[in-house]
Structure 1
């Protein structure tokens, strides 16, 4: 794709700024001729490919994994699948064009998504390097220390979430995230601080739209061949896949 775009650019000259997509922006150094050495060109192309992989994983892999666990848990806890479907039908009816306002009214669906993100977060941890010596409570953290925040451990802490922290209970988010965490910075499915995921809101819209359309048209349950074996890599995913049985409504 990179080579094709370079050839097209060379043959057609400049491209208007409004016609550039994300891949073009990544490749600007190749377009303007600054990278004249083969070594530099290879380095830039490798960097472009790496950036595309990051966007693909962050934009597709995490969302698809979230939807996968949501379908699994709604297959196990069928009462929540019923409640979510009833809400979707009540709020959306047969609408084909779903708006952000519509999605904002799906309170039960939002509770379910938040609970899935708590139990099966997209990332297990995130790390930060301390730029200067920092005092944190009774601890002094030296400069250049790598500090890791164990998101999964926080999300399943009984001190924060109660004795049922290991259980699927969307009701804990009935009054929002702040109430559920008792005002503590203990829920970070998209990271935290100035480097929080910039696609957080888009991800919510995407996942809730898919769920709304799925719930309206299908019921689903686990296949007898399903084996519950969460596997921790960068994300938590079903080690043996997620075979489901869907029935059209």
Structure 2
């Protein structure tokens, strides 16, 4: 790896890893604020699994429901809303020929909300769909792409899961979240998928 390539990889970590994780947590707080049953389930799981123990990787692995929630959040609101690839040769798909050099954009948001892939409840927040299936019951193995796919899949995926669980554990252990009446739901694609008018929440301390 050249020095230039090393610098570019570092930029990817700094710029790609910071905002996407922050957005994933933001969308999670929105959904937990509007689905209090799941907020309570996660808080109960944290009490049972973490308790008064020090947070470490082994403890975080036991937060199964939290991982279901994260997967479902990334399905409904993927921070990286599209995946880009370039054809390295002519590709034939049924009657369509994709010429060599064609830049292709995969609309991850649309795919993650497609009833043909996810069923009639595609637009509903149902973390339990990931309980027994890492692909969330999607009927195509490439239908769930929050981290991309193939050799260029997000290199920071495992770090993201760890950061997410640590931050959410600390937040839910100390605060209760409710949606502000000033919230205006408007997910917008501006490189990443973010709330266009911010995400005002009511934060109440538990103790």
Question: Normalising by the residue count of structure 1, what TM-score does the alignment of the two structures yield?
Answer: 0.76
- In the alignment of these two chains, the number of paired residues is 206
Alignment partner for residue 77 of structure 1, among 30, 35, 45? 35
For residues 87-143 of structure 1, the C-alpha deviation after alignment (integer angstroms, 9 at most, x for no partner) is 111000012x21222111111100110011001101111111111122334433221
Which residue of the partner structure matches residue 196 of structure 2?
Answer: 239
What does residue range 38-117 of structure 1 map to in structure 2 within 5 Å? 54-95=12-53, 97-117=54-74
Point out the structure with the larger helix share. 1
Pair 1:171-2:138 in alignment:
no
Counterpart Cα distance in 1 of 2:154 and 2:38: 28
Counterpart Cα distance in 2 of 1:94 and 1:59: 29
Q: For residues 225 and 179 of structure 1, do their structure 2 counterparts lie closer, same or farther at Cα, with a shift above 3 Å needed?
A: closer
SS of the counterpart of 2:202? strand
Counterpart Cα distance in 2 of 1:131 and 1:207: 35
Give the Å deviation of 1:67: 0.5
Which sections of structure 2, spanning at least 5 residues, go unmatched? none
Counterpart Cα distance in 2 of 1:100 and 1:237: 29
Question: What RMSD, in angstroms, separates the aligned Cα atoms of the two structures?
Answer: 2.2
Counterpart Cα distance in 2 of 1:210 and 1:176: 25
Counterpart Cα distance in 1 of 2:56 and 2:11: 29
Which residue of the partner structure matches residue 225 of structure 1?
Answer: 182
Point out the structure with the larger strand share. 2
Give the Å deviation of 1:53: 5.4
Which sections of structure 1, spanning at least 5 residues, go unmatched? 1-24, 30-47
Which residue of the partner structure matches residue 150 of structure 1?
Answer: 107
Counterpart Cα distance in 1 of 2:136 and 2:179: 32
Counterpart Cα distance in 1 of 2:49 and 2:91: 49
